[in-house]
Structure 1
Amino acid sequence: MVEASLFIGSEHYVANSIAMMALTHGFMALAAAVVVLPVLGDHVGVALLLAAAFVGGLAPDADLLASHRKTLHYPVGYSVLAAVLLGAFLLTSSPGVLVLTVAVGAAALHSVSDVLGGSAEREPWNPVTENGVYNHALGRWHRPRRYVRYSGAPEDFLVCVAFAAVAIPAGATSATVDAALLGLVAFAGLYSLCRKRLAGIAATLGRLVPRRLRAVVPTVRVTETETDGTTIDIRFGR
């Protein structure tokens, strides 16, 4: 993900509401997994452990198609669940429980770290809300700290590169996987370069779609509220 920027017609919007690139979260979780690998690597396959960390780090941003940074972001819930699962692993030494612990822990890291980013809205570089990440335990939004101003900001890409620099040279993955990860870093860089122009790019692409094909092109509408954050409605046919 970089971010799941959804194509729409020229009269609509592109969803631009992720605090940090999903790839930043993915590499953050991957770097954390590499650090603890010497302790955990004997209990389960290295590839499976790293895959669980990377996927778990990406997973919360799937709620871009619902209420972003609310539906699948549980900074407290994931953290508590990860602690419970870790306890279960220490008691059972089950490889399956360990993989689940790593995945949930990565999702917790993602949810907690989103508060360091920008607000959940269409143009977070011109903020009008204080929706950072939703805390279901408290029933309210945490305000964004904006250390990373928005998804794809220069500092976001630098953070992504920093975590990738920890994860990729560690030697825990094969040359093929390393090449794929470097490709994702390059994609993140391209995304950052285009970040503020995504709406214009989507509008241009929309005008290039033949009229007879527009019935099968999804129309995406973005709605922002103080209580639900950013929600996206996808419809086919116009």
Structure 2
Amino acid sequence: MMATTHAFTGLAVVAPLAYLAPEFALPLAVGAIAGGIFPDLDVAFEHRRTLHFPVYGGVAAIPAVVLAALSLSNVTVGLAAFAVAAWLHAVSDAFGAGPTIDPWRNPSDRAVYDHVRGRWIAPRRWVRYDGAPEDAVLAVGLAMPSLVIFDEYSTIQALAVAGVVVSLSYAAVRRRLVDWTSGWLE
């Protein structure tokens, strides 16, 4: 899935909390966006293995959420949002294709690495590849709560609108990018 889809997933998850506790809306949003994007920084290493933790991420998210509930502050709430969004990112990568640049030509049997079992989780391919039409629809749908809930934070709304534009633009050219960049991206 696209990085924007992961960021919007985090925002959608924290949106009800931001509605109920608007004083924490900004740290929730910042934590969710950062956590939704963070795992993909491992593209510079072994993508979907180095910073993706589909099992251990849940183990880390639970105490972060408990800490935030017991000690409400901008920092604890933001860290909990980060941990949950990063975990959801790693889990949801199993719903897509493998981490190859062109999964429609070179399908992979590896979606995301399970550090607990020491093996790769197979891709479900519900989202055929990052930037697929269904990924764009998912991104737009997941962006909607952030446009409504974070209405007092025009920066968050602007980021959401920009993310939707980026998502739709990327989806429009995604398959052609492989041909345009062949030779220097592989």
TM-score above 0.5, yes or no: yes
CA RMSD of aligned residues (A): 2.0
User: What corresponds to 2:34 in structure 1?
Assistant: 55
Shift of 1:129: 2.1
* Letter paired with 2:111: G
The equivalent of 1:31 in structure 2 is 12
Where does residue 10 of structure 1 map in the other structure? none
Deviation at 1:179, TM superposition (A): 3.0
Bigger RCO of structures 1 and 2 (CA < 8 A, at least 6 apart) = 1
Of 39, 57, 75, which aligns to 1:78?
57
Moved more, 163-172 or 87-96: 87-96
The alignment-based identity, stated in percent, is: 34
**Secondary structure at the residue paired with 1:67?**
coil
Q: 1:65-214, aligned counterparts within 5 Å?
A: 65-202=44-181
Which stretches in structure 1 are left out of the alignment for 5+ residues?
A: 1-19, 207-218, 223-238
Amino acid paired to 1:150: Y
Q: Quick one: distance in 2 between partners of 1:41 and 1:177?
A: 13
Q: Is the 8 A contact 1:56 1:106 kept in 2?
A: yes
Q: Take 1:100 and 1:73, find their aligned partners in 2: how far apart are those partners?
A: 17
Letter of the 1:23 partner, please give it: T
The 1:38–1:170 alpha-carbon spacing in structure 2 relative to 1, beyond 3 Å, is closer
Alpha carbons of structure 1 residues 182 and 51: separation in structure 2 relative to 1, 3 Å: same
Q: CA deviation at 1:97?
A: 2.0
Larger radius of gyration: 1
C-alpha contact (below 8 Å) 1:119/1:127 kept by paired residues = no
Q: Relative to structure 1, is the Cα distance of residues 40 and 179 closer, same or farther in structure 2, using a 3 angstrom cutoff? A: closer
Q: Structure 2 CA distance, aligned partners of 1:80 and 1:194?
A: 37
Deviation of 1:47 after TM superposition, in Å, equals: 1.4
Distance 2:67 2:155 in 1: 34
Q: Residues of 1 paired with 2:41 and 2:152: CA distance? A: 26
* Cα distance change, pair 89–47 in 1 and its aligned pair in 2 (3 A): closer
Separation of aligned partners in 2, 1:108 and 1:119 = 18
Contact 1:118/1:144 (8 A) holds in 2: yes
The runs of 5 or more residues in structure 2 that have no matched partner are: none
TM-score (norm 2): 0.90
Letter in 1 for 2:33: F
Where 1:141 maps in the other structure, the secondary structure is strand
C-alpha contact 1:34 1:172 (8 A) present in aligned 2? no
